Structure 1
Amino acid sequence: MLLKMNLQTFARNKNAKREHYLAEYTPGQEAAPLADGENWLRLAKYISSIGDDTDEQTDDTGFYDGDGTPETTVTAVSGAYSPEGSYDPEDKAQALVASKKYKIGEGRKVWHKVVMTNGDTYIGRATLTDIIAGAGDATEYEDFSCTITYDRIPDVTPKK
């Protein structure tokens, strides 16, 4: 007698299915390039890991209408991603990041687009920091990494 097992399937997506794109920012530019435009450069070649470095600021306050136990309120969110991998100066997205290394102020700004695995798209102006484009041990490939931090909460376009 065979027993049939009711197995529940869980949707799991590989991180590589999440797509990150960068586009040049022009100081004073209010609107991002069109989401499906050609100005976007995919940050993917030789990128082996992209961490989520989102930072949240909170306020913990207790109230008299409760029992005085502090409630946590999120007061600010700063979305950030940290790609890491091997540096390829011929890759246009990595070259854009590398070109910002010795810039300051608005010279470090880019547009950042993330297409999530469920199809939702996040787009916003961002700042590049911690740029490494060519470093590491003599026996290894050159390192590439940076931090991409949204300047404000990005615009979200749900999957169509």
Structure 2
Amino acid sequence: MANGINTGYLKNYLRQHFVGPLTTAGEYDEDNLKKLAKGISNIDPSSDEDTEDYQYYDGNGGKETEVTSASLAHAFSGNRFYGDEALEFIRDMLTNTGGRTCSFKVIEPDGRIISGKATVSEIKPYGGDAGARSEIEFTITFDGMPNDVKAGTAIPTSIEVDGSTKTIEVGETATIVATVLPAEADQAVTFTSGNEAIATVTADGVVTAVALGGTPITVTAKNYPNVNTTVGISATAAE
């Protein structure tokens, strides 16, 4: 163990997996996760990647490969323990093909956390020989790329800004200063204008008033869309 983090060759059973519903707003929900462990005997992670190859004159005929997209899936199998909360959550999705999205989190043995929205597929809720324990199989695939946080790295919980509203004359600019909390978390944020016809915003938070009116600017923690805040922009006539 180094700096409180497990190191070396670690057993698979030390890896933890959790599943649960999304929030009412359809976002990842950390607060209602259920542990996926009871009866699970095998978990097979897999990465499905799309790539593009390029060849250039300075490469001596060789090629460069760029990964253009990827998805991370976990295939679960084992014996079904009837009544287990996590397995019943999966079973309830069997006949609900339009509602299989969920919150999914993996904690690796060294404390690294992968989490995000996901989709459940390939559900086999029972099966096997008559005298054997009932089997269960299913796959959980992250929607897009999940959050990937190393052990010891704080997860963003909220964003503070230097004012909930700003008044800017048309043609002038103002800068939104944002701080992600806790202070140890990644401070990277994105800025999005609710109406670019009223005000635009750069990646650095510089807002330009374009026309008279009002619009919100949304400030979002990088890779954590559910951690955000807004700044109300009022664009006024130049004096």
Shorter-chain TM-score range: 0.7 to 0.9
Aligned-residue identity in percent = 33
CA distance in 1, matches of 2:24, 2:136: 26
* Contact 2:21–2:29 under 8 Å retained in 1: no
> Of residues 102, 108, 115 in structure 2, which corresponds to 1:110?
102
What are the superposed Cα offsets for residues 108-142 of structure 1, whole Å, 9 maximum, x if unpaired? 11110000111011111101010011112212211
- Which one has more relative contact order, counting CA pairs under 8 Å at least 6 apart? 1
Trace 1:83-122 onto structure 2 (pairs within 5 A): 83-105=76-98, 107-122=99-114
- Residue 104 of structure 1 aligns to a residue whose secondary structure is coil
Match of 1:144 in 2: 136
The number of aligned residues is: 146
Q: Deviations over 1:18-62 (max 9, x none)?
A: 0000011257423x223xx3x110000110010012211111221
Determine which of 70, 73, 76 is the counterpart of 2:66. Answer: 73
Q: CA 1:84 to 1:29, structure 2 compared with 1: closer, same or farther past 3 Å?
A: same
Structure 1 length-normalised TM: 0.85
Aligned to 1:14: 11
After superposition, the C-alpha distances for 1:75-101 in whole angstroms (9 at most, x for unaligned) are 111000011100112110000000001
**CA distance in 1 between partners of 2:112 and 2:100 (Å):** 26
> SS at the partner of 1:135?
coil
Aligned AA (2:71): S
Code of the aligned partner of 1:143: E
| Partner SS for 2:58 | coil
Matches of 1:143 and 1:102, distance apart in 2: 18
The answer to whether 1:33 aligns with 2:33 is no
Secondary structure, in 3 states, of the residue corresponding to 1:13? coil
Residue of structure 1 equivalent to 2:208: none
CA contact (8 A) 2:23 2:29 kept: no
Flag as ranges the 4+ runs of structure 1 deviating above 4 A: none
Unmatched runs of 5 consecutive residues or more in structure 1: 1-9
C-alpha RMSD of the superposition = 1.5
2 CA distance for matches of 1:136 and 1:73?
43
1: CA distance, partners of 2:50 / 2:25: 28
More strand by share: 2
Q: State the TM-score, normalized to the length of structure 2.
A: 0.58
CA distance in 1, matches of 2:23, 2:96: 13
Is there any run of 5+ residues in structure 2 with no aligned partner, and where?
1-6, 153-239
